[in-house]
C-alpha cells in the first residue's frame, strides 16, 4: 500500500474510539489486511504522531517519507526507492490519497490542513507514475471537505487525481508504451 497523507493515521484511538479518521491505517495493519513492511507513507508532516505511535509504526516495519525528506531527496528518488518495496512479495498495490498531502494553499478543502505539503502537480505526477508502473488494484481519495473548499479547488484536484489514476491504469493494461512526460488525459 502506498499512502499519501500529511498524517500517519496510525493512532490507536481517536477520542476514545477505535475507528476514526486518524486510525484507519493502524486498523488495516492490525487486522492483517496490509503488512506493515509493505506499507509506505509519503508526505507526512506536522506534530503527529506521538512517540508511542511512532514506535508502533517502527515495530511494524512501516516506511514513512516526510515532506522534508521528499523535498531534499526529490520525489522521483523517493518513488524509485519505494517501488521495489511495494512490489516485493505483493501481487497488487492499493493507492490511498488523503488530499491534505497537498499544501492547503492548493487544496484548502480539507478538515485537517497542514502547511508545507506537496504541490498539486507533484501529486498528479506521482499518482500517474504509480498507476503506470505498478499493478494498482484499487485507489481512494479521502478527506475532501466541500464546506472548507474555495472555488472547488480541492474538489477539482481530487477529481483530477482519480482521472489520472484511471487513465494510467488503463494505459498500463493496454500494453502501450508511455513517456513519463506524457499527459494521458490530453491524448
CATH number at residue 31: 3.40.800.10
Identify the domain containing residue 57 by its residue range: 2-174
- For 102, 120, 132, the CA distances from 164, given in Å and listed in that order, are 16, 12, 10
Q: Does residue 49 sit within a domain?
A: yes
Q: Which is nearest to 67 in space by CA: 99, 103, 95, 93?
A: 103
- Residue pair 20/112 in contact (Cβ under 8 Å)? The answer is no
Integer Cα distance of 59 and 117 in angstroms: 26
Cis peptide before 49 (omega within 30 of 0): yes
Q: Does residue 181 sit within a domain?
A: no
Q: Does residue 122 sit within a domain?
A: yes
pLDDT of residue 153: 97
How many domains does the chain fold into?
1
HSE (side-chain half, CA atoms, 13 Å) at 99? 27
Q: Does residue 103 sit within a domain?
A: yes
Report the SS3 class of residue 138: strand
Q: Does residue 19 sit within a domain?
A: yes
pLDDT of residue 103: 98
Q: Does residue 111 sit within a domain?
A: yes
pLDDT (tens place) for every residue of the chain, 187 residues total: 999 999 988 876 555 655 655 668 888 999 999 999 999 999 999 887 788 889 999 999 999 999 999 999 999 999 999 998 888 888 899 999 999 999 999 999 999 999 999 999 999 999 999 999 999 999 999 999 999 998 999 999 999 999 999 999 999 999 887 665 555 555 4
Please, which residues have CB within 8 angstroms of residue 12's CB and are 6 or more apart in sequence? 18, 23, 26, 52, 53, 56
Residue 75 has which C-alpha cell? 520525489
Q: Write down the pTM of the prediction.
A: 0.90
100-122 burial, b if ≥16 CB within 10 A, otherwise e? bbbbbebbbbbebbbeebbebeb
Q: Does residue 57 sit within a domain?
A: yes
HSE (side-chain half, CA atoms, 13 Å) at 157? 34
Q: Does residue 35 sit within a domain?
A: yes
Amino acid at each position: 500500500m502506498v499512502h499519501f497523507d500529511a498524517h500517519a493515521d496510525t493512532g490507536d484511538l481517536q477520542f476514545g474510539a477505535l475507528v476514526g479518521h486518524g486510525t484507519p491505517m493502524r486498523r488495516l495493519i492490525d487486522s492483517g489486511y496490509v503488512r506493515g513492511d509493505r506499507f509506505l507513507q509519503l508526505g507526512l508532516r506536522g506534530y503527529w504522531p506521538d512517540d508511542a505511535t511512532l514506535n508502533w509504526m517502527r515495530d511494524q516495519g512501516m516506511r514513512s517519507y516526510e515532506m522534508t525528506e521528499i523535498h531534499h531527496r526529490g520525489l522521483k528518488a523517493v518513488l524509485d526507492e519505494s517501488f521495489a518495496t511495494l512490489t516485493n512479495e505483493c501481487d497488487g498495490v492499493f493507492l490511498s490519497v488523503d488530499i491534505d498531502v497537498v499544501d492547503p494553499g492548493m487544496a484548502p478543502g480539507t478538515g485537517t490542513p497542514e502547511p508545507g505539503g506537496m504541490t498539486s502537480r507533484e501529486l498528479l505526477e506521482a499518482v500517474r507514475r504509480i498507476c503506470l508502473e505498478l499493478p494498482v488494484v484499487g485507489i481512494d481519495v479521502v478527506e475532501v471537505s466541500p464546506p472548507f473548499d474555495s472555488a472547488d479547488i480541492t474538489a477539482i484536484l481530487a477529481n483530477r487525481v482519480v482521472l489520472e489514476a484511471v487513465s494510467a491504469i488503463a494505459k498500463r493494461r493496454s500494453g502501450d508504451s508511455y513517456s513519463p512526460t506524457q499527459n494521458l488525459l490530453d491524448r
